[in-house]
Structure 1
Amino acid sequence: MSELRIIPVPTRILTEDDDIAEAIAYYAGAEVTRDDLVCCAESVVAVTQGRFVFPEELDISAAAEFCCRFIPDYGSLASPHGMQALMDVEGKWRVAAALFAGFLAKLVGKNGMFYKWGGKEAAMIDDVTGTMPPFDKAIVYGPAEPDLVARKIAARVGAFGAMVADVNDLKRSRVVGVSGGVDGAPAARLLLDNPFGNASQKTPICIVKNYRQYQEGHTA
């Protein structure tokens, strides 16, 4: 089997004026083969789609001020502006009801239900400092149509596949979008050490070399 390697790819700062597939082709295309998986940080995909808001643009409600107190300090919704950003897209009453129901679910041993019931953005929003400058000063929503984005990336660079992933330094790795033929589960496990560098490193893209052979050997 060919050697499996993960190669972080440096870029310039990507903005809403960029097309993510074209940016990946420019910065990583020469490295990609038909055996490789191209991965991109979900927050950077969202930025290129213009899916972000700055805290000063939000009108913070009393409900957001109250509800954010029940989120752990490390969470993106623990600040009033993070919570308000969620309420603006998912609805104030839905979020508040999901928070209350999630608390009740915890009492019977079911954790994480708030993020299931609070709408898809509940688990996707990145608060300030969550992505590449200057968007570290913005609240970034999840990307739109991530599976379609992954398919476009794979087709543009001629890769075995592509994946949009939500990875952090807390050993959390989650598939947000994936192209056809790619099993996201083993790919997500490979990213647990977070090869992305969304801050000063400017490496929001990585190439998993020889992933096709790896997947064939790790799936039934």
Structure 2
Amino acid sequence: MTTMTTMTTMTTMTESALELVPVKTRIVTPKDDIGDIIAQYAKEGIGPNDVVSVAESVVAITQGRVTRPEELEPSFLARVLCRFVPQKGSLSSVYGMQAAMNAEGEWRVLWAMLVGMAGKIFGRHGLFYELAGEQAALIDDVTGTMPPFDKHIVYGPADPDGVAESIKARFGCYGAAVADVNDLKRAAVLGISKGLNAKQLAQILIDNPFGNASQKTPIVIIKNYGTAAQRVTARE
């Protein structure tokens, strides 16, 4: 029987309580399939009105989108540009920056950095991550994800919308999502199945019910989402 920890959150979308159920798993590796992991640990708890959300780093790990720092060869440009990223950012390390350059192209990253610096002079922040490519914002440097992959660099997942659609189809649930959430009240839904609203789901997950470290709860079932959404539609 799957062990689940339950927490309840209020959402302005539904004006009613949604039940968020984190699901405990074992350590997930590149040898795993994310659908099989959900089937093994969460299948019994998934209903037709539920949304299954999965942490993006775990999806990426099952896709083999990980590398060890020693497998990278940092360039002179990576060593320079990483100095301009705040320390809390994954690209502040030379290896994180090199990983971004490998994924998005070094000249694109350089151009984004130059435009981002110019933008800050005029009070426009965040241009670097807007222009440097998706992976620049999604890469997790070492210590940025669950053990034993805390000694790896983890890229963002490939085709997160497709992953969400495959989960929905396999388990017959109301929907599915691949989410990037942290403890700093930052939440982004990278992939969703058709019919879901990414911003609404991100708000529901804002308190980070995922536990990617010792908790090993990278799957969160949003119970009764479909029922709540139907009630809102009926009122409109």
TM-score range, shorter chain: over 0.9
SS at match of 1:123: helix
Once the two structures are TM-superposed, the CA of residue 99 in structure 1 deviates from its matched residue by 0.5
Alignment-mate amino acid for residue 26 of structure 1: Q
Identity value in percent: 56
In the superposition, the TM-score normalised over structure 1's length comes to 0.96
Give the deviation of 1:44 after TM superposition: 0.4
| Distance (whole Å) between structure 1 residues aligned to residue 206 and residue 178 of structure 2 | 14
Q: 1:159 aligns with which of 151, 155, 173?
A: 173
Question: In structure 2, what is the equivalent of residue 53 of structure 1?
Answer: 67
The one-letter amino acid of 1:129's match is T
The answer for the alignment partner of 2:56 in structure 1 is 42
Within a 5 Å distance, the mapping from 1:116-127 to structure 2 comes to: 116-127=130-141
Q: Are 2:223 and 1:209 aligned?
A: yes
User: What code does the residue aligned with 2:83 have?
Assistant: R
4+ residue runs over 6 A deviation:
none
Q: Separation in 2 of the partners of 1:106 and 1:35?
A: 45
61-70 or 106-115, which deviates more: 106-115
Shift of 1:22: 1.5
Alpha-carbon spacing, 1:218–1:69, altered in 2? closer, same or farther (3 Å): farther
1:218 positional shift: 5.7
* Distance (Å, rounded) in 2 between the aligned partners of 1:18 and 1:77: 28
- In 1, the alpha carbon distance for the partners of 2:114 and 2:71 equals 27
Higher RCO (CA 8 Å, separation ≥ 6 residues): 1
Contact 1:22/1:156 (<8 A) preserved: no
Partner amino acid for 2:127? M
> Is contact 1:9–1:205 with CA below 8 Å preserved after alignment?
yes
Task: State how far apart, in whole Å, the 2-side matches of 1:216 and 1:175 are.
Answer: 21
Corresponding position: 1:189 with 2:189: no
1:10 aligned to 2:46? no
Matched, 1:87 2:101: yes
Cα shift at 1:215: 3.1
Question: Which residue type is aligned with residue 152 of structure 2?
Answer: A
Which AA in structure 2 matches 1:154?
K
Deviation at 1:187, TM superposition (A): 1.1
3-state SS of the aligned residue for 1:166? strand
- Once the two structures are TM-superposed, the CA of residue 59 in structure 1 deviates from its matched residue by 0.5
2:36 is matched with which residue: 3, 13, 22? Answer: 22
Count of residue correspondences: 220
1:176 maps to which residue? Answer: 190
SS of match in other structure, 2:115: helix
Superposition RMSD on alpha carbons, in Å? 1.5
Instruction: State the Cα distance separating 1:26 from its structure 2 match.
Output: 1.4
Alignment TM-score, normalising by the size of structure 2: 0.89
Amino acid at match of 1:58: L
Spell out, residue by residue over 1:79-99, the C-alpha distance to the aligned partner (whole angstroms, 9 max, x if none). 111001111111111111101
Q: Quickly say closer, same or farther: Cα 1:84–1:140, change in 2 above 3 A.
A: same
Match of 2:160 in 1: 146
SS in 2 for 1:4: strand
